[in-house]
Amino acid sequence: MKKLILTLIAALGIMTGAQASEGGIAWDKAPGKTNDTASLQNGAKLFVNYCLGCHSASAMRYNRLQDIGLNDDQIRKNLMFTAEKVGDPMNIAMRPADAKEWFGALPPDLSVIARARSSAAGSGSDWLYTYLRSYFRDASRPTGWNNVVFENVGMPHALWELQGSRGATLEEVKETVDPTSGKHTGFVKTVVNFDANGVRTEKTEPMAEGHHHASRTWTLGKLEGGTLPQARFDEQVADLVAYITYMSDPTAHQRTRLGVWVLLFLGLFTIFAWMLNRAFWKDVK
Ligand code: HEC
């Protein structure tokens, strides 16, 4: 039994280890702005303008945006395009069947995506922050876009007008094996390049003798044609991610604020309890 448990733990370790190293690029850390009302408001605006066309956030009601400092009037004027009442959830008009046909995949509801995407490589917010900034041109894809973090994704680059576009290079090192004997014969390196228009070229050559191991390395090309400089674009994505993170757990800050008061109360209560205890026992002793 003990041996079985140990084997299971070891297997689990190998699996999670493999997953962490498989994804290609390391995730960038999302600037934690979920506490910043201006960021959250800007994020909500970006979300409504650039994402809500395809994705719903049905666990989120518009009037909940009062939590991030907006009043009903501001919500109605600036953020509501598809809903009727401020009490409505953030739904979309697109039919799921259409989405499936247009993109080959359903745009998932984004209410809790920031929680769903966390893993050993980082938080769900880190994944989102990296994913939304890692698009490149790939003319072979139906949308004309591909993504380094989510390869062959069905979603186009929703923010491309702001960020601009670029190519990318994938360097892949693979072991070669003799098909009859199954013996290791060496390593080859394949370089797949996508130019600024997404045109793909591929070159494979054997590698010199020596110590190699299998790997995949993505490098993104230089950005061109965006309306925002890169640093400004990153800030916008940070705000958007802060909003998506807030949506996945809208009461997170209320909870931590409340937690401080609870601890203060418990501390004070301990002092009173101790004083009361002393007063009770004073005459007994
Ligand atoms: C044109 C429609 C469209 C727009 C606009 C769009 N998406 Fe998507 N999105 C999709 C589709 C389709 C998928 C499913 C892709 C797949 O599974 O290959 C997707 C997938 C995703 C995923 C991955 C979900 C997962 O874990 O599988 C995230 C995150 C996401 N979108 C976020 C956003 C954000 C944030 C925006 C706004 C900036 C946005 N999307 C705008 C169509 C869209």
pLDDT digit string, tens, across residues 182-235 = 898 899 999 999 999 999 999 999 998 888 999 999 999 999 999 999 999 999
Q: Higher model confidence: residue 227 or residue 15?
A: 227
Instruction: Please name the residue whose Cα sits nearest to atom 36 of ligand 1.
Output: 51
CB 157 less than 6 A from any atom of ligand 1 = no
CB 48 less than 6 A from any atom of ligand 1 = no
Give the C-alpha separation, 158 to 155, whole Å: 8
Residues 6+ apart with CB under 8 A from 205: 188, 189
- Rounded to the nearest whole angstrom, what is the distance from the C-alpha of residue 112 to the centroid of ligand 1? 13
List the beta bridge partners of residue 170.
192, 218
| Ligand 1 atom with least separation from CA of 244 | 35
Dihedral pair phi/psi, residue 36, rounded to 5° = -100, 110
pLDDT digit string, tens, across residues 66-114 = 989 999 989 988 888 767 788 888 888 777 778 888 888 888 999 989 9
What is the residue-averaged pLDDT of the chain? 89
Give the C-alpha separation, 255 to 124, whole Å: 20
CB 241 less than 6 A from any atom of ligand 1 = no
pLDDT for residue 194: 97
pLDDT digit string, tens, across residues 234-278 = 999 999 999 999 999 888 888 888 999 999 999 999 999 999 999
* Domain 26-165+223-265: top CATH class: mainly alpha
Give the C-alpha separation, 272 to 267, whole Å: 9
Instruction: Please name the residue whose Cα sits nearest to atom 29 of ligand 1.
Output: 128
Q: How confident is the model at residue 17 (pLDDT cuts 50, 70, 90)?
A: very low
Tokens (6 digits) for 148: 């380094």
Tokens (6 digits) for 128: 């989102």
CA distances in angstroms from 213 to 23, 31, 131, 206, listed in the order given: 16, 34, 26, 13
pLDDT for residue 22: 47
Q: In the predicted model, is pLDDT for residue 14 greater than 60?
A: no
CB 160 less than 6 A from any atom of ligand 1 = no
